[in-house]
């Protein structure tokens, strides 16, 4: 996709143009270069998953929901503080990033266990992978 960049005008898509010319630049694709990827392996339901466990998985995940409730509140405030840190320093502090990423990882493990039912492995109570 090529976008024409001219002062005072909006970006206009030019279909059929392969190489950028003067006053044009090619915008990078964001599909292949993401920092965070979410990948659930597709389970073999007959071999990997217990047939009756989905009836109680939501119940077994309640302790996770309680802890994640408070972690989500903390992550909300950490994201706000990180916004100010990024605004003034231009960098996302590593500790804040690791905390928010850990909360997201934990949340995704619990969702994969209790809601999307892609695993029977009980998620650990930790922020690390």
Q: What would the pLDDT profile of 27-50 be if each residue is shown by its tens digit?
A: 666 666 666 666 767 777 777 777
Q: Give me the torsion for CA of 73, 91, 104, 45, rounded to 10°.
A: 170
Closest-CA residue to 73 (of 92, 93, 95, 99)? 99
User: Residue 13 belongs to what H/E stretch?
Assistant: strand 12-13
Burial of 13 (0-12, 13-18, 19+ CB in 10 A): exposed
- Judged against a pLDDT cut of 90, whether residue 103 lies above it is answered with yes
Region 103-129: mean pLDDT is 87
Written as six digits, the tokens of 86 are 């990024």
Answer yes or no: are the C-beta atoms of 2 and 24 closer than 8 Å.
yes
């Amino acid at each position: 996709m090529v976008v024409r960049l001219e002062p005072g005008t909006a970006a206009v898509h030019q279909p059929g143009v392969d190489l950028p010319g003067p006053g044009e630049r090619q915008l990078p694709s964001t599909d292949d270069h993401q920092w965070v990827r979410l990948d659930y392996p597709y389970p073999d339901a007959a071999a990997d998953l217990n047939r009756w466990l989905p009836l109680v998985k939501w119940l077994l995940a309640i302790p996770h929901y309680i802890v994640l409730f408070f972690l989500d509140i903390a992550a909300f405030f950490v994201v706000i503080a990180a916004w100010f840190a990024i605004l003034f320093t231009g960098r996302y502090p590593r500790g804040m990033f690791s905390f928010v990423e850990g909360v997201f990882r934990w949340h995704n493990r619990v969702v994969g266990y209790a809601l999307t039912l892609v695993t029977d492995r009980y998620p650990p109570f930790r922020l690390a992978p």
